[in-house]
Structure 1
């Protein structure tokens, strides 16, 4: 087993700190082998019953990308229309998608009943399949950050719109639409915090003892 010393643990903490949700990307392409390498790392994420239920869909063609952007525009406007006053003004200034800049678009789905894993561990909590897919996304996110690559998670989308645009099996569950590329700005502070939308609360508010 490799040894992870104090210096490594310090660098790992820095990686966690600098892993941010990126919304402003450079248009520079990734190195030719970067995405394959990152997806191979993501595929090592833990999964319930070793089911590996994540399904990665690279969105490379203009038509599906345009359909995704159309869905975002509709639902982003609906979100804005649901706000009033200062909150609406602030929301309108936020850049909530990297769709026009990020060179890589990656949709992540979950196979709800994969043969792999034999159903182990998910009889009482089938949602652990979705949790496993999210774990793969977090693994991808950290691996990308370690290479100076940013990732943005776009959630202002209708899942049915995404599934239809990408022509995936009807039973796959949509988990995430990810924009991947080099960030325009490096920061260790969440963009929404810098913009004044929200501020991180103390960890003590999220720890409970029984």
Structure 2
């Protein structure tokens, strides 16, 4: 299958316009067929040994999302204490999640037992199954952007908080809590870059030829 120039350009547009959305979510519901397409894109991510270790827990219930929010608040306070001085105050000023504002939350997990103990490609590097689930997150994120949906990854939360709120078995690893919904606008550049937290690094500084 050959990709046309227009299709190539559309893919790059999606990649470069993807944002981690925190505060622009609208209350508009996400249609089932749209969410299905986005989840199907996630399900077509590459996975080590074709083990497909992911599951997707779709959460619309406000009370459940309030439990996730409480878990975020606990981890958020812990994180703030790790920064010092002006950085701590700047960190506290950031809007870092949209758990209650977004109409849908999706938890992406990893079942590390799904294909047994020995998995093609996971023998030397056992963490490859976790990376596979992260690939599913990226697929979901890009597909959502192509659907004009915003996505925010809430990483400031302990796995046990997510497990308890969603009834996830102990052997399943929660990889990502994603806030999903239509938004009022997408930022032109990442918010942390705008805030001066960190700059985007130059690609030339990160590419090595032949050896490090």
Per-residue deviation, residues 98-147 of structure 1 (Å, max 9, x unmatched): 11210010111100111389722212212111111010110111111011
2:166 corresponds in structure 1 to 166
Residues 154, 82 of structure 1: alpha-carbon distance in 2 compared, 3 angstrom cutoff: same
Gaps of at least 5 residues in structure 1 are none
Q: TM-score, normalised by structure 2?
A: 0.92
For 1:37 and 1:11, the matched residues in 2 are separated by: 17
1:176 aligns to what SS in structure 2?
A: strand
User: Contact conserved, 2:19 with 2:150, CA < 8 A, in 1?
Assistant: yes
Gaps of at least 5 residues in structure 2 are none
| Structure 1 residue 77 corresponds to structure 2 residue 49 | no
| Structure 1 residue 178 corresponds to structure 2 residue 178 | yes
Q: 1:18-33 maps to which residues of 2 (within 5 A)?
A: 18-24=17-23, 25-33=25-33
1:26 aligns to what SS in structure 2?
A: coil
TM-superposed deviation, 1:206: 1.8
TM-superposed deviation, 1:64: 2.7
| Structure 1 residue 6 corresponds to structure 2 residue 20 | no
For 2:102 and 2:189, the matched residues in 1 are separated by: 20
How many residue pairs get matched? 209
Residues 27, 38 of structure 1: alpha-carbon distance in 2 compared, 3 angstrom cutoff: same
For 1:49 and 1:5, the matched residues in 2 are separated by: 30
User: Contact conserved, 2:62 with 2:100, CA < 8 A, in 1?
Assistant: no
1:33 aligns to what SS in structure 2?
A: helix
User: Contact conserved, 1:50 with 1:116, CA < 8 A, in 2?
Assistant: no
1:14 aligns to what SS in structure 2?
A: helix
For 1:4 and 1:56, the matched residues in 2 are separated by: 29
For 2:72 and 2:140, the matched residues in 1 are separated by: 23
1:190 corresponds in structure 2 to 190
**RMSD of Structure 2 on Structure 1 (CA):** 1.7
